[in-house]
Chain A
Amino acid sequence: MPEVSKMKKPDVKVVLLGDMNVGKTSLLHRYTERKFKDTISTVGGAFFLKQWGPYNISIWDTAGREQFHGLGSMYCRGAAAVILTYDVTNWQSLAELEERFLSLTDTANHDCIYAVVGNKADLTDPKAQLSQVSDMASEDRSDYEESIEPQVLSACPTPPASPASLSGITLHKQVTLEDAVALYGRILRYKGLEEKSSLPAEKMCFETSAKTGYNVDTLFEALFDLVLPSILRKRNENQESPTVDLEECRGGSSNKRARSACC
């Protein structure tokens, strides 16, 4: 099994950022556990390891609360991809991305890629109420909606999914995809990147629903595919990540133990 323990070392880092209650934890949970459930507000940041083919992708699910704002840049250090998440029913959550979260990404890799993701699309978009996930059948309403054309939208107000939606839940879509695309353009400018040479906005802006699973896999898989070059390059560069740095400076006998266990 040395193969497996070696695999445990993360190759690349993806960070989820965004205001509280936009559904970062739910998105990740939908992707990793194929389920939607009530989450409670994340404290600090939670670290996950995702196997992607032969690679290990570390995902940091950060707390959106202002309380933990100061930690954001630490979580972003050396990130290869940042998922900036907002809530399509909450304009402020998009504005916060620019005001509060964009500056945190200063510590990310210089070639970091950015995705702008509008979650809770099921609340505003009929097509997002269709689950894309096959195992959804058992879950609420999806059967029903798959058989009938989904115009149930305003008829049955979706119950507040997460601790979310304290900020007034309207089925009114406050943020359009165009807004997100515009934000993406501003991000590139902030980063001093050429729009021409960067990934096109239409590839990097998503609308998702953690509740139904709509676009969630698409999002993560597209990102993972995009960060692969970064992984490969990093491997060639002999792994100069902060992870390894810290490990290298550790001395003492305990270090040897860890090594022998690893290799």
Chain B
Amino acid sequence: MERDNHQEGEAQGVKICDLPRESNPPADALATSLSLLGSHMFPDPVERNNSITVNKEEPADSLPDGTAEEESLDAEPHSNQVTELETEDTESTECQNNVSTQPSDMGTEDAATDNDRSDSGEFVVTMLAKAKLEEQGIGVKGRSSPLLEAGTQEIPAFMSHRDEDVTADSWRQHRKHVFVLSEAGKPIYSRYGSEEALSSTMGVMMALVSFVQSGDNIIRSVYSDGHTVVFLQKGPLVLVCVSSSRQTEQQLRGELLYVYYQIISMLTQASISRIFEHKKNYDLRRLLAGSEKILDGLLNLVDSDPSFLLAAVHCLPIASSLRDALSQILQKAITPNLVFSILIAKNQLLTIVQEKTVIEDTRLEPADVHLLLNLIGASSAFQAGEIWTPICLPLFNPDCYFYAYISYLDPPECTVCLLLLSTDKEAFYAVAECKKKIEEAMMAQNALSLIAKVQSYSVSQVGVSDLRHFMYKPFDVPDNYRQLTQFTSPEMEAPYSSEEEKMRLLDLYRYMHSRIHSTSRPLKLIYHVAERETLLAWVTSKFELYTCFSPLVTKSCAITAITKLLRWIKKEEDRLFIRYPPKYSTTPNPSKSSRGGKSDQQDSTDNGFLSLL
């Protein structure tokens, strides 16, 4: 009897949006797996009335996920049954019980209620039950008594995220989890906790993915009260984000895409598909071992740096004369097959010079620059040497490597970094020679000390009272056609000086951004009065602008302020943006490094890595 109740309740609780009823997989099976996942990821003993919504799409057409999302948010939490399952699971003893009885229940259920249940559905449930059982086995060992729980929540400072106890509440309370797994369900990466300890959780995730897949669907997201679970499948990799950040599915998926790209930048898409074609259950951690910090760093940046949200590059504001001088220095230090020369200070772009034929073919995408900046930031612990490493720019070409020369120009401070990208694996010494030339020229012009003085600017320089912060992303910097998308933004100052406040402001911006870019109901102008500030976001054909004002500003005041701000930006344009992207020509044979010559290039650059397989 009780079991029957379960069935009904689950069917209601799990909402499968935008799908013809008959193609639905058995909802109860899905619900069970969801609750199994849920009980591990976000058991919430206090709030019992979670509503979980599954959002799926037909592979062919993309559905307006905005509407689906709103539906789910508006939906009354009418799924006590699902929650019941969840709360049961949080008690480990009861859960053991629950799990062990489940397979036997299955038979009767089948006979009684379900006639279109497929075999695979049963299999998934049994599999999930098994996985859960294992999980609990691990969990019980590590679980402390409720009385001690308060003490165990604090993670000792010396412990890295990787050593975290994945059964602890503190682990569950992370704002944003990211998991990467292979199609075979093998764990590849987890932002917090070790992949081994999470292998059964990831197994459950994979089971969800493949279960929905078996109905010719793609699982996109799962909504519960406090969390959003977003799935992204990319080739043989599955990326999952479990977030309580209130970001939209679209934004979270964008972030997962960055994680995917970062993995591609280390291994290339071609080699990943090759590996998994060859061996389905390959443990990709073998190749990614040691790169976890790069992914960790990326996720921290994604959370704290609006460049990722805006998909634009933030360059350091400097006098255009200095920027031009630096560009000229880079322009003169060339060697065959050099394609990009990038100068970075304080993790922001100073200037970028590009090979002429390359840039005629393709533009350098902001995401690729973000990945490069992250790589540099994450690998700067040992800064004295000159680094030579293969790197793929996934948006430029996901299947080939560039060879990156990375060296700091100002040891031991290590704030000014030179990055030279070549297509020639053997070019290290030639490229190192370029660095020597650049170093000498910079010395001669005293450029390093000038760069050292460069600072980001304060919003007070704009001279608009009430304006606290802004982000401005132009679409049409003159002469910037097919160029890097950039944005400019002042330092975050009081009241946004603490980490929490910075994050709060960024969250507000993320909210504004999601409204502007909503797929169902995009907005052009939003005036949003928040609790402690007033925000105005505005998108036109020429720019995208987000501003933050003090709470007492009036609407007309804000509009005037924006007019002033736009005028100020126009005036400062030369300083705030890289306006005249310099070029050089290093390829006597244009096919050598351009996309046209991709195929031969691929062979020559990829060789070393083929030997991996």
- Residues of chain A at the chain B interface (Cβ within 8 Å): 8, 20-21, 25, 29, 32-33, 37-48, 61, 63-71, 73-74, 159, 163, 166, 242-243, 246-247, 250, 254, 257-258, 261
Distance in Å from the Cβ of A260 to the closest Cβ of chain B? 11
Q: How far in angstroms is the closest Cβ of chain B from A15? A: 13
Given contacts A38-B381, A39-B382, A246-B430, are A68 and B440 in contact (CB under 8 A)? no
B384 CB contact (under 8 Å) in A32, A43, A246:
A32
Known: A8-B436, A246-B430. A47 touches B612 (CB 8 A): no
Partner of B433, one of A44, A47, A64, A247: A247
Are A63 and B290 closer than 8 Å at their CB atoms? yes
| Inter-chain contact A65/B334, CB cutoff 8 Å | no
Tell me, yes or no, whether B387 is within 8 Å of chain A by CB. yes
Q: Which residues of B contact A46 (CB under 8 A)?
A: 382, 385-388
**Surface stretch bound by A, among B143-151, B301-309, B421-429:** B421-429
Complex Cα–Cα for A46 and B380 (A): 11
B607→A254 contact, CB < 8 A: no
Contacts of A8 in B (CB 8 A): 436
Q: A247-B433, A250-B430 are in contact. Are A69 and B612 (CB under 8 A)?
A: yes
Contact check, A67 vs B287: say whether CB atoms are below 8 A apart.
yes
Output the least CB separation between B405 and chain A (Å): 9
- Determine whether the beta carbon of A70 is less than 8 Å from that of B612: yes
Q: Does B288 contact A (CB under 8 A)?
A: yes
Q: Which of B289, B375, B608 contacts A65 (CB 8 A)?
A: B289
B610: interface (CB < 8 Å):
yes
A contact residues around B565 at 8 Å (CB): none
Most buried by A among B382, B432, B436: B382
A-B interface pairs (CB < 8 A), number: 123
Whether the pair A163, B386 counts as a contact (CB closer than 8 A) is no
Q: Per-position contact with A for B552-577: 1 when CB-CB < 8 Å, else 0?
A: 00000000000000000000000000
Residue from the list B266, B286, B610 in contact with A70, Cβ < 8 A: B610
Cβ contacts under 8 Å, B430 to chain A: 246-247, 250
Q: How far is the CA of A66 from the CA of B283 in the complex (A)?
A: 12
- Hey, which chain B residues are within 8 Å of A42, CB to CB? 290, 379, 382, 387
State in angstroms the CA–CA spacing of A39 and B404 once bound together.
Answer: 20
Cβ–Cβ < 8 Å partners of A40 in chain B: 293, 378-379, 381-382
Say whether A163 contacts B382, CB under 8 Å. Answer: no
Question: Do A66 and B612 have beta carbons less than 8 Å apart?
Answer: yes
Are B382 and A43 touching (Cβ within 8 A)? no
Which 10 A-B residue pairings sit nearest by Cβ, starting from the closest?
Answer: A44-B389, A70-B608, A41-B290, A46-B385, A47-B386, A70-B609, A65-B290, A43-B389, A40-B381, A243-B429
Q: Would you give the shortest CB distance from A34 to chain B, in whole angstroms?
A: 13
Q: Does chain A have a CB within 8 A of B67?
A: no
When chains A and B are docked, how far (Å) is the Cα of A68 from the Cα of B291? 11
A41 touching B387, Cβ below 8 Å: no
By a CB distance below 8 angstroms, the chain A residues around B162 are 166
Chain B 102-126 near chain A by CB (<8 Å), digits 1 or 0: 0000000000000000000000000
Q: Are B387 and A74 in contact (CB under 8 A)?
A: no
Whether B437 lies near A258 (C-beta < 8 A) is yes
Let me know if B382 and A25 touch, CB within 8 A: yes
Whether B293 and A41, one on each chain, are in contact in the complex, defined by CB atoms closer than 8 angstroms, is: yes
Q: Which residues of B contact A48 (CB under 8 A)?
A: 384-386
Q: With an 8 A cutoff between CB atoms, is B267 at the interface?
A: yes
Whether the pair A61, B291 counts as a contact (CB closer than 8 A) is: no
Answer whether residue B611 sits at the interface, using C-beta atoms and an 8 A cutoff: yes
Inter-chain CA distance A226–B451, complex, in Å, is 43
Nearest-neighbour CB distance to chain B for A19, whole angstroms, equals: 10
Closest residue of chain B to A26 (Cβ to Cβ) is B382
- Looking at the assembled complex, report how far the CB atom of B188 sits from the nearest CB atom of chain A, in whole angstroms: 13
Residues in B whose Cβ lies below 8 Å from that of A242:
426, 429
Q: Please name all residues of chain A whose beta carbon is closer than 8 Å to the beta carbon of B390 when the two chains form the complex.
A: 44, 68, 70-71
Residues of A close to B294: CB separation below 8 A: 43
B152 within 8 A of A: no
Contact A67 B266 (CB under 8 A): yes
Please report which residues of chain B, range 581-613, place their CB below 8 angstroms from some CB of chain A when the two chains form the complex.
607-612
In the complex the two chains form, what is the Cα distance from A152 to B440 in whole Å? 52
- Give the interface of B toward A (CB within 8 A): 158, 162, 266-267, 286-291, 293-294, 332-336, 375, 378-379, 381-382, 384-390, 404, 425-430, 432-433, 436-437, 440, 607-612
Docked CA distance A89–B389 (Å): 29
Please give, as numbers and ranges, the residues of chain A lying within 8 Å of B332 by CB-CB distance.
254, 257
Which chain A residue has the least Cβ–Cβ distance from B609?
A70
Distance in angstroms between the alpha carbons of A44 and B419 in the assembled complex:
14
Complex alpha-carbon distance, A25 and B381, angstroms? 11
Chain B residues closer than 8 Å to A20, beta-carbon distance: 289-290
Highest count of chain A CB atoms <10 Å: which of B335, B375, B381, B610? B381
The smallest beta-carbon distance between A77 and chain B, in angstroms, is 8
Which residues in B have their C-beta under 8 angstroms from that of A258? 433, 436-437
Partner of B388, one of A29, A47, A64, A261: A47
Tell me, rounded to whole Å, the shortest Cβ–Cβ distance linking B393 to chain A: 15
A64 / chain B contacts, CB cutoff of 8 Å: 290
Q: Which residues of A contact B388 (CB under 8 A)?
A: 44-47
Q: Taking the nearest CB of chain A, how far is it from the CB of B325, in angstroms?
A: 17
Of chain B, the residue at the smallest CB distance from A40 is: B381
Nearest chain A CB to B484 CB, angstrom units: 23
Q: Are B426 and A74 in contact (CB under 8 A)?
A: yes
CA distance A8 to B386 in the complex (A): 14
- Which among A21, A38, A65 is the interface contact of B291 at CB below 8 angstroms? A65
Complex CA gap A254/B287 in Å reads 39
User: With A67-B291, A243-B429 given, is the CB distance from A45 to B607 under 8 Å?
Assistant: no
**In this complex, which of A68, A70, A71 has the most chain B Cβ atoms within 10 angstroms of its Cβ?**
A70
**CB<8 Å pairs between A and B, sample of 11:** A41-B289, A42-B290, A42-B379, A44-B388, A44-B390, A46-B382, A46-B387, A64-B290, A70-B612, A247-B430, A254-B334
Nearest Cβ on chain A to B496's Cβ, whole angstroms: 30
From residue A125, how far is it (CB to closest CB) to chain B in Å?
25
Interface pair B289/A66, CB less than 8 Å apart = yes
User: When chains A and B are docked, how far (Å) is the Cα of A240 from the Cα of B45?
Assistant: 73
Contact A29 B382 (CB under 8 A): yes
Q: Least Cβ distance of A239 to chain B in Å? A: 12
Write the nearest CB–CB distance from B262 to chain A, whole angstroms.
Answer: 12
Q: Point out the residue from B287, B384, B437, B609 that lies within 8 Å of A257, measured CB to CB.
A: B437
A164 to B573, CA, bound (A): 48
- Residues of B close to A37: CB separation below 8 A: 381
Q: Are A74 and B425 in contact (CB under 8 A)?
A: yes
Q: How far is the CB of B584 from chain A (nearest CB, A)?
A: 10
Contact B432 A47 (CB under 8 A): yes
Contacts of A74 in B (CB 8 A): 425-426, 608
- A196 shortest CB reach to chain B, Å: 34
Return chain B residues, CB-CB under 8 Å to A41: 289-291, 293, 379
* A45-B389, A71-B390, A73-B608 known; A246+B289 contact, CB < 8 A: no
In the bound complex, how far is the Cα of B436 from the Cα of A40, in angstroms? 26
Instruction: Give A20 to B290 CA distance when docked, in angstroms.
Output: 8
The answer to whether A70 and B611 touch (CB under 8 A), given A25-B382, A29-B382, A250-B335, is: yes
How long is the Cα–Cα vector from A21 to B335 in the complex, in angstroms?
35
**A164 CB, min distance to chain B CBs, angstroms:** 11
Please give me the residue from chain A that is nearest to B285 by CB atom.
A66
| B389 adjacent to A163 (CB under 8 Å) | no
Q: How far is the CA of A43 from the CA of B332 in the complex (A)?
A: 28
Q: Provide the bound-state CA to CA distance between A37 and B383, in Å.
A: 13
Interface centre among A67, A163, A166, by most B CB within 10 Å?
Answer: A67
- Provide the residues of chain A in CB contact with B608, threshold 8 Å: 70-71, 73-74
Apart from A39-B382, A47-B386: 4 A-B pairs, beta carbons within 8 A: A42-B290, A66-B287, A159-B158, A254-B334
Residues of chain A with a CB closer than 8 A to B333's CB: 254
